[in-house]
Amino acid sequence: MLEDCRNARERWGGVTELVDRWLQARQQLIVQYCGLSNNPDFSRTEPLHEQLSSLCEQLLDYVSAGHFEVYEQLMNEAREFDDGGIEVANRVYPKISKTTQEMLAFNDLLEVSEKSEEDMRAMYARVSRLGEIMEERFELEDLLIENLHNAHADQVA
């Protein structure tokens, strides 16, 4: 049993660190999102575009880390412990994928937008919806973390 415990710690202890780093990136993303002014000066289009571009860059990094690092590790852990986590993931992943598509669409709109006052107004009008999408995604991700990783924390520690 002790050997099994060591193996679990060796195999899954790194997942905790990965998830922790990812959640720190989430916190930075939220701070950056909140830093967008509610009443921006739309005549200053260049700084507004830079703020939105920076947000999108951080957003894409966060989404990519989730899809290509964190989710994969969570799924591996769920398969290993085989206690219903796969079923949870199968219900949640399609919803997360939908938020990914919406986030990518926001980024794509920014890339094709001009830096005109009108375009910046249109992008900022979409920022609120982006916040709702982020909130939905974070709740879904928390559900995955709780069911696919935290449920086994005592077996890994």
pTM for this model (two decimals): 0.85
Contacts 24+ apart (CB under 8 A), 38-45: 40/120, 40/124, 42/117, 42/120, 42/121, 42/124, 43/117, 45/115, 45/116, 45/117, 45/119, 45/120
pLDDT in tens, 115-147: 899 999 999 999 999 999 999 999 999 998 888
Would you say 54 and 32 are in contact if contact means Cβ atoms under 8 Å apart?
Answer: yes
Please state the rounded mean pLDDT for residues 39-57. Answer: 92
pLDDT in tens, 90-107: 999 999 999 999 999 999
Is pLDDT of 11 > 50? Answer: no
Q: Which residue has the higher pLDDT, 93 or 78?
A: 93
For residue 108, the one-letter residue type is: D
